[in-house]
Amino acid sequence: MVIIRWCAPPPTLLLPHHPTARFSCPKPPSVVYAKSSSPASSSTTRRALSLSLIFSSFTCSYYSSSEAATSEFFELQGSGGVKALDLRTGSGEVPVDGDQVAVHYYGRLAAKQGWRFDSTYDHKDETGEPIPFVFTLGSGKVISGIEAAVRSMKVGSIRRVIIPPSQGYQNTSQEPIPPNFFDRQRLFTTIFNPTRLANGEGSTLGTLIFDIELVSLKHP
């Protein structure tokens, strides 16, 4: 029997250029698993555990001040204000428009204290493996901020991006769309809240934070 438990205190995160957006990293659950007699099952479990720990570490190992955060992020050229932080640089190809790309992501909403509204790691196939989000780069079906982030990534890279409202959701049909109805409703009623928009809060309501891993690409 192999038992692994990992717990860390959730720090408070402060976004660069968004001084009012503070949120705590959710405490990752303890992980307990038994050594399986099946090599395939054991391999799947170890891979899922590894991915979970990697992203939890990236999310929780952040910054103690807005000044530190600002110095680490950079603006993606021609992105309309998308800020990026490279967490890991891959060694694969860089996609171009027309390529079919597969990504894993965590999506969070700054206006809700960093509430995680969607994650591909919650979308599982029949074997329990997480299903990546697949789209055609340059198709216009995905929010502009994600396209801008992926366009300059190498396969295998992981990047955190802060997406301003102008490069985020402009309507409720843009992808990625949370599959859970209640998450989807909460996301869009916050971003497109008419009262708060009328009060001049449009510059902050739709700010998104995505952690993106470029898994693979396929040329047409």
What is the domain-level CATH number for residue 77? 3.10.50.40
Q: Is 169 within the bounds of a domain?
A: yes
pLDDT in tens, 154-178: 999 999 999 999 999 999 999 999 9
Q: Is 9 within the bounds of a domain?
A: no
Q: Is 43 within the bounds of a domain?
A: no
CA 180, CA 122: separation in Å to the nearest integer? 11
Q: Is 76 within the bounds of a domain?
A: yes
Q: Is 39 within the bounds of a domain?
A: no
DSSP characters for 77-93?
TTSSS-EEEEEE--SSP
Q: Which domain holds residue 177?
A: 66-218
CA 107, CA 80: separation in Å to the nearest integer? 19
118 burial type by CB count under 10 A (0-12 exposed, 13-18 middle, 19+ buried): buried
Give the mean pLDDT of 196-203.
90
Q: Is 31 within the bounds of a domain?
A: no
Q: Is 99 within the bounds of a domain?
A: yes
Would you say 178 and 118 are in contact if contact means Cβ atoms under 8 Å apart? yes
Q: Is 118 within the bounds of a domain?
A: yes
pLDDT in tens, 80-118: 999 999 999 999 999 999 999 999 999 999 999 899 999
- Parallel, antiparallel, or unpaired: how do β-strands 158-163 and 100-109 relate? unpaired
- The more confident residue out of 69 and 162 is 162
Domains identified in the chain, total number: 1
pLDDT in tens, 40-59: 444 444 444 444 555 555 44
SS3 206: coil
